[in-house]
Chains A and B, each alone.
Chain A
């Protein structure tokens, strides 16, 4: 199968407005915000709020991920404002600064599995337990993460993005502190802080470690694998088909399984690791 044929297949899955991601992104954020008054006023119990918040935050990265690739609205098009709004809002609960993270994430695509230039290489581990430990370590004081030397070159743009990121994340921490000192400490703890800690492990393990494991090979057909998740497609955030995303980032997440089935002969031909998928 030639590259032209490959692109022709991919093109079938690119294009329609991704309502699914828009509803997911806005609905997730607004639903999470609504949990605070609902729990505080006793409409739903704290344990249920904590469970829902954890689910929302674990899945909050994915709509923003679509926005990072401009899949909701490309630059200078009608829906760009919505793309950027969803990009910012959906990952605000996990305190990820959208625009800096987008710049770093695009470096992951350009340099997947590179020892110095892939910002996600810190997740390399032999086992899922090692990956979870690496995710934990990445959140410790003084860790620079995607701002490591060799990822983003120094520039005025980088300075601007870092400044914006500092403002966005400090606003998040400030909101948490103000709420915690004003009678909502338990809500902050169980609807925000604890779910964010869990999401902070789940997201890098599921999105970075699992689809790129063992994170050694580079190249279009080798740097991302297909894999059969023991917990199913939904609980693994659709990452069984992440290789399709690396081939064609413009294909929305919910359409990657169908695209994969059609691209599979090509991937087999190229020797892509598919691990039973």
Chain B
């Protein structure tokens, strides 16, 4: 149980990317009038960007 919890906590940036960054990015896009990005609905595009950025941050150990 403790190991599982530790592993889940280590995935924090990925959770952040999908669960928080994605809806915030979607909110910005919609506010700017972009309901579609490269043919994708803005929420799907936000999930792709947020999730990818979270994985990259996890691997690099840096957000920027």
Q: Which of B11-62 contact A (CB under 8 A)?
A: 12-13, 15-16, 19-20, 23-24, 26-28, 31, 57-58, 61-62
**Chain B residue contacts of A189, Cβ below 8 A:** 24, 27-28
- Across the interface, do B61 and A188 meet the contact criterion of CB distance under 8 Å? no
Interface string of A177-198 (1 = CB under 8 A from B): 1001100011011000100000
Chain B: how many interface residues by the 8 Å CB criterion?
Answer: 19
From A140, A185, A193, give the contact of B61 (CB < 8 A).
A140
Interface size class of A (residues with CB under 8 A): 10 to 19
**Chain A residue contacts of B23, Cβ below 8 A:** 177, 180-181, 185, 188
**Chain A residue contacts of B58, Cβ below 8 A:** 141
Q: State in angstroms the CA–CA spacing of A177 and B62 once bound together.
A: 21
From A140, A142, A176, give the contact of B20 (CB < 8 A).
A176
Judge if A20 is at the interface, Cβ distance under 8 Å.
Answer: no
- Across the interface, do A173 and B28 meet the contact criterion of CB distance under 8 Å? no
**Chain A residue contacts of B27, Cβ below 8 A:** 180, 185-186, 189
From A166, A173, A185, A193, give the contact of B26 (CB < 8 A).
A185
- Among residues of A, the one whose C-beta sits closest to the C-beta of B57 is A141
- Across the interface, do A185 and B24 meet the contact criterion of CB distance under 8 Å? yes
14 A-B residue pairs with CB within 8 Å? A140-B57, A140-B62, A141-B57, A141-B63, A173-B16, A173-B20, A176-B20, A177-B19, A177-B23, A180-B20, A180-B23, A181-B23, A188-B20, A189-B24
Which B residues have a C-beta under 8 Å from some C-beta of A?
9-10, 12-13, 15-16, 19-20, 23-24, 26-28, 31, 57-58, 61-63
Which A residues have a C-beta under 8 Å from some C-beta of B?
140-142, 166, 173, 176-177, 180-181, 185-186, 188-189, 193
Instruction: Give the top 7 A-B pairs by smallest Cβ distance, nearest first.
Output: A185-B27, A180-B23, A177-B19, A189-B24, A185-B23, A186-B27, A141-B13
Further contacts, 13 of them, CB under 8 A, given A140-B61, A186-B24, A188-B24? A140-B62, A141-B62, A141-B63, A173-B19, A177-B20, A177-B23, A180-B24, A181-B19, A181-B23, A185-B24, A189-B24, A193-B20, A193-B24
